[in-house]
Amino acid sequence: MQRFTRSFSLVVVVYTWICLLVPGGCATALVQAEPVGIQEEQDSFPAFVGERFVRTELFFGSLKPNKTHVTDAEFRDFLKHVITPLFPEGLTLLTGQGQFRDASGEIIRERSRVLILLYPVAVRQESSEKIEKIREEYKWRFEQESVLRTDRCCERVGF
């Protein structure tokens, strides 16, 4: 028992010194420790290089102020005549159930659509302008308060 206590005390002293001397403190020292064999396993997989792309997601609500919904046919028409001409290279469209708090504070639950766009970093500004056209047209056409937009840069993409 005395041997264990001495060893444990030595570990505490060394850990305390690491916390004081290593930039970033104890968190850095702890994060850098890896179980045996993990590094060898990671080294055996080639790194994915890919091209740098921006990922934008647009969230379209469907409930109009008159309590009707944007129909599938209306959205398909919007997709065909507004979105696709601006992003003919490709896109992904998901449907789901969404909810949000409107300007009056009421919780609104509605069918929603999520548009995912991936485009090269090099055309980020041009693509952003096109995305804003999509958002403005949707709000105007379907009397929406907003179209939520999220952007993430820079994802690695390979085709």
Chain-wide mean pLDDT for the chain? 81
Using 50, 70 and 90 to split pLDDT, how confident is the model at 158? confident
Read off the CATH number of the domain in which 87 is found: 3.30.70.120
Lowest-confidence segment of 24-38, 42-56, 121-135, 141-155 by average pLDDT? 24-38
Res 118 pLDDT > 90 = yes
Which long-range contacts link 41-44 to residues 24+ away (Cβ below 8 Å)? none
Average pLDDT of the segment spanning 107-127: 95
Rg for the chain (alpha carbons), in Å? 26
Predicted confidence (pLDDT) per residue in 50-72, tens digit: 889 999 999 999 999 999 999 99
Rounded distance between C-alpha atoms, residue 2 and residue 116, angstroms: 62
Per-residue pLDDT, 50: 85
- Domain identity same for 20 and 71: no
Compute the average pLDDT of residues 18-24: 46
The predicted model gives 17-31 an average pLDDT of 45
Residues 6+ apart with CB under 8 A from 92: 115, 116
Q: Tell me, what DSSP letter sits at residue 67?
A: S
59, 136: one domain: yes
pLDDT at residue 20 tops 80 = no
* 38 and 55 both lie in a single domain: no
- Residue pLDDT, tens place only, 70-96: 999 999 999 999 999 999 999 999 999
Tokens of residue 8, six digits: 């444990």
Q: How far apart are CA 130 and CA 85, in angstroms?
A: 10
Q: Tell the burial category of 92 from Cβ atoms under 10 Å away from its Cβ (0-12, 13-18, 19+).
A: exposed
| Packing angle of the helix pair 2-21, 25-32 (nearest 10 deg) | 110
**Alpha carbons 138 and 119: distance in angstroms, whole number:** 21
* Domains: count for the chain: 2
Q: Are 28 and 83 in a shared domain?
A: no
Which range marks the domain in which residue 35 is found?
A: 2-43
Q: Is cis: bond before 154, omega within 30 of 0?
A: yes
Look-up: residue for tokens 């709000």? Answer: 139
Domain identity same for 24 and 59:
no
